[in-house]
Structure 1
Amino acid sequence: MEQSRIIERILEDKKFIPWLLVGITGSGKTEVYLRLIENTLILGKQTLMLVPEISLTPQTTKRFNERFNVPIEVLHSSLNNREKFFIWERSKNGENAIVIGTRSALFTNFKDLGLIIVDEEHDNSYKQQNGWCYHARNMAIWRAKKEKIPIIMGTATPSLESLFNVEIGKYRRIDLTKRPKGILPSHYVHDLKGKPLICNLSRSLIQNIKYHISQNNQVMLFLNRRGYSPILICHKCGYVSECLRCDHYYTLHRNKKKIECHYCNQQLPIPIQCSNCSSNRLISLGFGTEKLEEKIRQIFPNIPVSRIDKDTIKNTKLLQQKLSLIREKKARILIGTQMLAKGHHFPNVTLVALMDIDGVFFSNDYRASEKFAQLFTQVSGRAGRSEKKGEVILQTYHPKHPVLSSLLRKGYNEFALEILKERKEFLLPPYSNHVIIRSEDLQGSFSLIFLKKVKKIILKHTKDKRLYLSDPIPSVKPKKRGLFRWLLLIQHDSKSFLNFLLSNLTQKIQKVPERKQVRWNIDVDPIEH
């Protein structure tokens, strides 16, 4: 059996080794974790289990409690300082055996740590992007090396950085290629061009939903946009309600009777009239999970519907209640964002539909195709996880887009290797190393001047021709929470060179006069610009 073979191989070497466990969705990666933890407990040692999202902690904790009769702690940002302190104390004193947590749990002090597991290692949630920037996966590897213990990084969709590290011999890769139960779902692409739609639901998708519901199964509709509508526009003059702090459109949340900026979370009452021409003819454009739920309830009035997103889930207790309803089949149609799609096991879901994903095909982010492939594979993996056959439907106006065609034809692993070749050709990470120096202030002018002076300092202290240094440029989100944001991109093929350079220049950067008027930081291996 694949799982037993993998466990035996890992247990052969109990020293520090970064293991990349690549298993198709539903292949039993959690069972591998459990058996490795069991061996760690027998040795009298503790385990740290990292998960990318708080939403995954209830499911993981439930599974672990069913398996082990030992003290298990859950550590994440929703706990208050008192609760965190007592978990840290018990960990330091060896009074718990397993700590399950999000990225901040990595800094817990253990009496005798014997194993680190990073679940869904590809997930961008492991990256801390504000203030002190770090990647929890990379920090976990550093800690495992320091503690001289094994680390397991599990995923169905390995990051390109991890695949590169396997290529150069830094990680060891092991694969789970089969599902113990069920078979992989079938994929279908629905071309939306010229088709009548109801809230972006095609007639063929509605018919498929009806069929799967009639078979006493569950259906998952994935839409990665919360709220009722992303735009509230004046029908008379065309003015769009916009957050002045972020220069970003407000999202309409009809249930809360608010408009909300999803950049800074500022909320205002829904306006009665246009602030530009005073007309009261305000209409919403586009749709989010809230509007999709409304339309689904109209189409299927007698079918219980459950929506899981940031608006409906305020704490882990509410999430547990929602997940229990789903497992008990008291919810038949599930609607949600990534919060619903990541890592959950719903054995009765036989149809998964991905909606409104075309924007990713035209993104200016060089990581967009990687992110889409990971998202598509992860969401698709929620279907057919038991003996029931699963189906995945992707609605798109671009069914022949090369990214989509290549992914469906080759599967994630071959597709990822293809992207790696492209990255190598254009010297993009992981075949080069990026560092971003970010700066923000209330006017924007101080940040621009600050970064120009930082660039001069860097150029003055190195003549390395392999170093690429951009001019200061606006961030992808140029204004957020009232602050104008600029960045300086540094690229070099040697990470050690960049570390040495920045370590020596930080004190000189601190002496730049404009530093006192700006808020700045250094982001190594950034995932967003």
Structure 2
Amino acid sequence: MIYIDVLVEYDVLKLNRPFTYACRQPVEPGCRVRVLFRNREVIGYVTAVHEQTHLQKVSEVLEVVDPKPLLNEELSELSEWMSHTYVCPRISCLKTMLPPALKPEKTHSKVIMEDWAELGDPVELTEKQRAYRDAFEYPLPAREFRRQSAGLARTLIKKGAVRLFKKEKESKPVMPVGTDTNFTLTEEQKAAVQTIAEGSDSLYLLHGVTGSGKTEVFLQLAQKTLDAGRQVLFLVPEIGLTPLMIERVTARFGANIAIYHSRLTAQEKYRQYRAVQEGKTAIVVGTRSAVFMPFSKLGLILMDEEHDGSYKQDNLPRYQTRDIVRWRAAYHTCKAVFASATPALESYSRALNQTYHLVELKHRIYQNLPEIRLLDMRREPRQDALAKTLIDAIRQRLADHEQTILLLNRRGYLPIVRCAECGTVLTCPDCGIALTYHKREDVLKCHSCGRIFAFDHICPTCGSTHFFQASLGTEKLEEQVRQLFPTASILRMDADSTRKKHAHEKILSEFQAHGDILLGTQMVAKGLDFERVTLVGILQADASLARMDYRSAETAYEMLEQAAGRSGRGTRAGIVMIQTFDPDHYVMQAVVKHDYQQFFRKEMKYRRLGVYPPFVFLCSVLFSAGNAQKALQAASDAKAFCAGFDVIGPTEISMRQRRPRFRIVIKSSSKQKLVKMVQELADRHQRLFSTVSISINMDPYMLEE
């Protein structure tokens, strides 16, 4: 009999400690077990094994699920670090690290097994049976063995001439294959590769203008790492960029790579995870979850578009991928390269204070940066949502057989449904925020909680059937563009049009082959590289600036500059037209000049005055309850407990699941002191406010939630 410490599957802070169980089977730390916890069968994760215990009464393990540990020592240590740093349950970190089929929870997906056939015993067979048996190379899937004659196959299996055994089902994602574009490096690219490959630093910021060839620098560095016998991790922020990076990587290094992102099936994720764990592949391409792949010889981490908000996890554990990259690079004593045309202010600050080694690519490979024109919508004649100047420019591109990208960062048909008679705005009853109308499905959707509501086109307040049509989403924009250019090939790329598997790849390949106009949300602003795109139009460019958030100017600048970078990437000159009501805003002026440093200096002055990152560290703490007064009381108590820290709030924000929410934001110049305070706050809250939920977000990307 041995005794084991087990983390149970419930990811709540009050259970963030191991519970002791007795076990009659051999088991190692890192394995899953099935146990009884408060009279319920749950899955637990073994953290330690002991020969004895001081406890008088200990329950026994019901089942040992895994014969071998799921995580290596590094990832186990990383889960502890994450739990401490982000003040979250360690079990939530383990669930995030593991693919669905291996998650330590009762409802996890199962590994899919299938029957395979192998040669059995030498038994007496008829000539026909012997010929059928000898027609195959063993082992092979049983379905293939049965395909030609189910009757003969059944007889051979019954006689024992062929045996069946279980094997994990092979499930490999479809890999897009492209043509290698291994061209001669520019002098800037050569210098960047040499600086990073031969440098003694471990962390690098590759700041290169759009179209300067950062991906080729990545591929050159990857080749050197592979030649040294080590593994490479390519990270991209969103699924939409994954096919493009996979295409480049497979074209250069062949198809033996692993990919990992949220659109894979559970079995595909499992097989990709195992391929890395078993050392069958040396290259991984994926979104933020790929940062937890079980590398044993990691030699290089390449993080593309490092500024992107998608690298910040929204739910437990609310980690920042850049933090995990730095931790793993230190553990493996390898190099990490963070790359962007618009680095996060925190990253560029680290480069200036030499925490990162700054490497710059200041020039495009083919053309100069595109010309930026600000269209002042206070004066511009327009047709529906488009300025006439932009319409004329699109028409010219169609005549010249060139392509256009239109960016509108609002999906749906009407982002706000407002009655034209009484002014009532239709809102989500659970969240209190405006519902979006989707015309194709004729429904109202909450883009916060995801609920869908039938729409009878009648105002619930006054009974009117008239609603304002002034607001605009990508669905309505597509309708207007089709009316303006009825013969053009128009594609839409947003969260609605890319729900199905491989939808991103299909849309991009169609646009590459015969598309004229690609319109969409911020998906179309990132990473796309089409030589025939010579015009980018950006609508409602001021929308991001209107957000009441300390990072609103930064996210606006990043989106505008990144979107502008999609134009003129080949041998043809590009132009960008930005529709704005505030052309004199410092964000707009920095974009016109493609001047990141100008934006950085201006924005840093505001951050310093407001005491926001990168000058301090933040932690957002939300309190929610069925009763608003209880939530406010808990938030007020928390603020008082944090005396000595700069605390904003309590502030009431939009509710979730009909539960009122209050937020405080804690600031500190010391990350260590902030983490310690928040841990103490969480412990106190659990003791005093059991009916009030607490949600901790260390280093929040945005404060609007």
> TM class by shorter-chain length?
over 0.9
Which residue is equivalent to 2:701?
Answer: 527
Q: How many Å separate the matches in 2 of 1:502 and 1:237?
A: 46
Q: How many Å separate the matches in 1 of 2:330 and 2:651?
A: 37
CA 445–81 in structure 1, closer or farther in 2 if over 3 Å, else same: farther
Letter in 1 for 2:691: Q
Cα deviation for residue 88 of structure 1 reads: 1.7
Cα deviation for residue 428 of structure 1 reads: 2.0
Which residue is equivalent to 1:468?
Answer: 646
Q: How many Å separate the matches in 1 of 2:242 and 2:500?
A: 11
Letter in 2 for 1:390: G
Say if 2:322 is the partner of 1:146.
no
Deviations 1:86-110 (A, max 9, x none): 2222211111111111111111111
Q: How many Å separate the matches in 2 of 1:427 and 1:454?
A: 21
Q: How many Å separate the matches in 1 of 2:587 and 2:503?
A: 37
Say if 2:321 is the partner of 1:125.
no
Which residue is equivalent to 1:187?
Answer: 372
The equivalences for 1:255-404 within 5 A come to: 255-328=440-513, 330-404=514-588
Q: How many Å separate the matches in 2 of 1:76 and 1:162?
A: 25
Which residue is equivalent to 1:455?
Answer: 639
Deviations 1:108-162 (A, max 9, x none): 1112111111110000111112222110012111111111110010100011001
Contact 2:258 2:275 in 1 (8 A): no
CA 71–446 in structure 1, closer or farther in 2 if over 3 Å, else same: farther
Contact 2:434 2:446 in 1 (8 A): yes
CA 425–259 in structure 1, closer or farther in 2 if over 3 Å, else same: closer
Cα deviation for residue 53 of structure 1 reads: 0.4
Which residue is equivalent to 1:437?
Answer: 621
Which residue is equivalent to 2:195?
Answer: 9
TM-score (norm 1): 0.93
Match of 2:217 among 27, 32, 35: 32
Say if 2:419 is the partner of 1:234.
yes
Letter in 2 for 1:490: I
Cα deviation for residue 442 of structure 1 reads: 3.0
Contact 1:70 1:97 in 2 (8 A): no
Letter in 2 for 1:11: A
Name the SS of the counterpart of 1:334 in structure 2: strand
Which residue is equivalent to 2:231?
Answer: 46
Q: How many Å separate the matches in 1 of 2:501 and 2:355?
A: 37
Letter in 2 for 1:177: K
Q: How many Å separate the matches in 2 of 1:419 and 1:358?
A: 16
Which residue is equivalent to 2:691?
Answer: 517
Cα deviation for residue 440 of structure 1 reads: 2.1
Name the SS of the counterpart of 2:406 in structure 1: strand
Contact 2:560 2:591 in 1 (8 A): no
Cα deviation for residue 495 of structure 1 reads: 1.5
Letter in 1 for 2:197: L
User: Larger relative CO (CA 8 A, sep 6+): 1 or 2?
Assistant: 1
Cα deviation for residue 12 of structure 1 reads: 1.3
Q: How many Å separate the matches in 2 of 1:402 and 1:124?
A: 22
Cα deviation for residue 407 of structure 1 reads: 4.0
Letter in 2 for 1:469: V
TM-score (norm 2): 0.71
The equivalences for 1:65-80 within 5 A come to: 65-69=250-254, 71-80=256-265
Moved beyond 4 Å, runs of 4+: none
CA 316–137 in structure 1, closer or farther in 2 if over 3 Å, else same: farther
Cα deviation for residue 80 of structure 1 reads: 3.2
CA 364–413 in structure 1, closer or farther in 2 if over 3 Å, else same: same
Letter in 1 for 2:641: I
Match of 1:418 among 594, 598, 602: 602
Letter in 2 for 1:364: M
Letter in 2 for 1:270: F
Cα deviation for residue 364 of structure 1 reads: 2.5
Contact 1:114 1:150 in 2 (8 A): yes
Contact 1:57 1:100 in 2 (8 A): yes
CA 238–137 in structure 1, closer or farther in 2 if over 3 Å, else same: same
What RMSD over aligned residues (CA atoms) do the two structures have, in Å?
Answer: 1.8
CA 131–445 in structure 1, closer or farther in 2 if over 3 Å, else same: farther
Name the SS of the counterpart of 2:595 in structure 1: helix
Say if 2:290 is the partner of 1:105.
yes
Cα deviation for residue 213 of structure 1 reads: 1.3
Q: How many Å separate the matches in 1 of 2:507 and 2:256?
A: 26
Letter in 2 for 1:401: H
CA 261–31 in structure 1, closer or farther in 2 if over 3 Å, else same: same
Contact 2:352 2:358 in 1 (8 A): no
Structure 1's unaligned 5+ residue stretches are none
Cα deviation for residue 66 of structure 1 reads: 0.6
Larger Rg: 2
Cα deviation for residue 316 of structure 1 reads: 4.4
| Most deviating of 232-241 and 48-57 | 232-241
Which residue is equivalent to 2:393?
Answer: 208
Cα deviation for residue 260 of structure 1 reads: 1.0
Deviations 1:349-380 (A, max 9, x none): 10001101223344322211111111111000
Q: How many Å separate the matches in 2 of 1:349 and 1:256?
A: 31
| Most deviating of 346-355 and 131-140 | 131-140
Q: Across the two proteins, how many residue pairs are aligned to each other?
A: 517
Which residue is equivalent to 2:363?
Answer: 178
Deviations 1:176-218 (A, max 9, x none): 1111222210111111224442222121111111111111100
Letter in 2 for 1:6: A
CA 370–236 in structure 1, closer or farther in 2 if over 3 Å, else same: closer
Contact 1:16 1:144 in 2 (8 A): no
Cα deviation for residue 69 of structure 1 reads: 2.2
Q: How many Å separate the matches in 2 of 1:378 and 1:19?
A: 21
Contact 1:27 1:180 in 2 (8 A): yes
Contact 2:541 2:580 in 1 (8 A): yes
